[in-house]
Structure 1
Amino acid sequence: MKNIRCILFYIAGSVCSGSLHAHTQSDLPNWAANGLDQAHENIGSWVDYSARSLDGLIGTEDSLTVDNNSYLRITQESLWQETEGISNDLSVRFKLDLPTSKERLRLLIESDPEESLGTLTEQGSNSQLNEQLSNSNTIIGLDQLTPRDKHQRWSYRLGGGIKLRTPIDPYVRATGERVWSWDETSWELSSYNRFSWFDSDGYSARSHWDLSRPLDADRRLRSYTRFQWQETEDTLEYSQRFEISRQLDDRSNLRHSLIMVGDSLSDPRINDYYLQSWYRRDIHKGRLFMDLIPELHFDRDSDFAPRWAFTLRFEFYLRKAINRSLR
């Protein structure tokens, strides 16, 4: 484990300093790139084959050709907080996407669904997320899909299943999504809403509203609002992010944000203000990503005294189809 971290820190330093030769699709030295490609070919093909084989047992031969969004993600994260020092975490997350023979019905196996990620304060910028994940959070269930284009009307998804643990934990949830676009102003508003019930945790609801528009060819302005209520917390939480993102090149993105996190509907209050810069780079062929995230927090627990935090994170995606999105 220590050797893996040393290698990752070496790669991060080399990428930031520009000492490595910048290949078309990779910043890695040949020895690292070759090893990564071999691991991706072996494990990524196994993930895709396993998903399609399992799908074929309950579906049709179409399972060999339809889109499949299955993946395995390995994350190594180092987090430094001014008052708490350095913490390191290695986590694995997977999603098996299994379209079945029944029209618009999909079998889903997923670790760490969003209902298991804690409060908005705990989620933060995802820089403290790994501590919330657990092997007991894997779910298996069926999702009923609607064929509607969410740019034209609301698209709904109903699902249900169980959380794989002892005792078995059943769940049901409903999701609605909608996107509005105004061509004359370039503004776009997207809405994501989910209502869930888990036997162990009770009811929860969350709503995300994302308003954005391009400023020019490389920059985008964004306002991202989130609301969340969980029966276990019994309070309404909300967060607001104002962000300007810039596409530095076809493999790098930089975001500057002002973020506020609060709670309570009867007595609203902000618990944390923070400034964040988030640099994300595809350092190898859409498979290995690096995040550098400095933050300056002013939180209620510290009497709003300034407190620095910094996250270095690597994400390795293992999947057959490669998505070059910088998220």
Structure 2
Amino acid sequence: MLLGLSPLSLFHCKILVICAIYGLLVTKAYGSDLSSQGDLSSQGDLSSQGDLSSQGEPSSEEKPSYWTQSAYWLEHSRDSWSEKVDWLARGIDRFFAGKETLDFANKSYVRIRAGGSWTEGLGYVDDSDLKFRLHLPATEKRFSIIIESTTEEKETLEEKSRPGLSQNTPIDEGTVTAAIEFVRSQTKLWKTRTLLGVKAQVPGDIFAKFSAKRRWELDDYWTMPYRFKVSEYLSDGLEIEHSLAFERPLMNELFFSAETSMEWTEEDNIMNEAQIFSIKQRLSDSQGIDYRLGFLGQDVAKPRLTSTFLSAHYRELLYKNWLYWNIIPELNFPRDNGFEPVASLTLRFEIFFQK
């Protein structure tokens, strides 16, 4: 049971996303309705001077249309869910902290993603999912409690590198974690984070995580961000990730990045590697494209290239700050297919419930 309400299946998630898209198509009616209401109110004195008998039932043109009423209802439903997410997080926080939580920024949210990919030779693959995070910042001055679904923890380095490739991981006891986050240390050079928690499964899987990141300013244009993360799971053993990138802005709202990432797990004893070249283009305040050329490999007995891909990730904010859509065409050249091209097209919608 999520958020103290009845379970929300992925089927219902899709329906909600479809309804939101449906509502988006009619939100343009807001302006016309509001302007028409303004015109009617400005004519109040003139209409009052007319025959009172003519002021009966309002005409159909004065009533909000069915489409507009539907849009209002959909937006109200989303806002209501966002209130419940925030209320639940603050209620739990208040219980543990024993203090008022309104003064603390709450980063709790629920994200519903609906969509999938059409891949050459495979057809349609659904990757709809639901992710949530309850952030309890006021529990203590030196640490906070985080309860979340960690679907990205089960993603491989390839799935993290390719925007069109995402693992469909349902929420179950193996993906929900509760952790204590100790106060983040932020010095002049490094930012660190320490987590100690347990997976909500029987028996519980205790884990500890430490991450650190830093950014070097090489000159007036180039920067070099570095990120390191080490995790220790009671059942799966040690996991190590790190990445190093070179970044700089270009002309005409373009941003270049060359990132090298490595990931090693004790369970598989395999080093996965990724080299990603990216150019991000800002089209407007609500639109952007991420062009990528990637090389993926593994180091078992010796390093080898496993695949190469080309992709363009278009992302747009459709409505306010909570409804997005993503279109990702991609060409993948996997070793298993003799490095022959495999085309795919991914379409996803996302709704965020967050205050």
Assess same fold via TM > 0.5. yes
TM-score (norm 1): 0.85
176, 184, 187: which one aligns with 1:146:
184
Are the equivalent residues in 1 in contact too, given 2:108–2:135 (CA < 8 A)?
yes
Per-residue CA deviations over 1:249-274 (Å, capped at 9, x if unaligned) read 11000121101111106511111101
Counterpart for residue 35 of structure 2:
none
Q: Distance in 2 between matches of 1:303 and 1:34?
A: 53
Alignment of structure 1 residues 1-327 onto 2, 5 Å:
1=11, 4=14, 8=18, 11=21, 30=68, 33-61=71-99, 63-112=101-150, 114-117=152-155, 119-135=156-172, 136-149=174-187, 152-182=188-218, 184-216=219-251, 218-264=253-299, 266-320=301-355
Alignment coverage as a number of residue pairs: 308
Are the equivalent residues in 1 in contact too, given 2:111–2:352 (CA < 8 A)?
yes
Q: Distance in 2 between matches of 1:175 and 1:47?
A: 28
Are the equivalent residues in 2 in contact too, given 1:253–1:280 (CA < 8 A)?
yes
Are the equivalent residues in 2 in contact too, given 1:206–1:227 (CA < 8 A)?
yes
Could you tell me which runs of 5 or more consecutive residues in structure 1 were left unpaired when the two chains were aligned: 321-327
SS in 1 for 2:231: strand
Q: Distance in 2 between matches of 1:99 and 1:199?
A: 27
Q: Distance in 1 between matches of 2:342 and 2:268?
A: 26
Q: Distance in 1 between matches of 2:235 and 2:210?
A: 18
SS in 1 for 2:140: coil
SS in 2 for 1:61: coil
Shift of 1:58: 1.8
Q: Distance in 1 between matches of 2:131 and 2:101?
A: 23
Tell me which amino acid in the other structure corresponds to 2:122. Answer: E
Q: Distance in 2 between matches of 1:255 and 1:22?
A: 32
Could you tell me which runs of 5 or more consecutive residues in structure 2 were left unpaired when the two chains were aligned: 1-10, 32-66
Q: Show structure 1 runs of 4+ deviating over 6 A.
A: none
Where is the strand percentage greater, Structure 1 or Structure 2? 1
Are the equivalent residues in 1 in contact too, given 2:307–2:332 (CA < 8 A)?
yes
Q: Distance in 1 between matches of 2:100 and 2:259?
A: 38
Flag the structure with larger Rg.
2
Q: Distance in 2 between matches of 1:275 and 1:189?
A: 24
SS in 1 for 2:106: coil
CA RMSD of aligned residues (A): 2.9
Tell me: CA distance 1:114–1:195, structure 2 relative to 1, closer, same or farther (3 Å): farther
SS in 1 for 2:91: helix
Are the equivalent residues in 2 in contact too, given 1:253–1:279 (CA < 8 A)?
yes
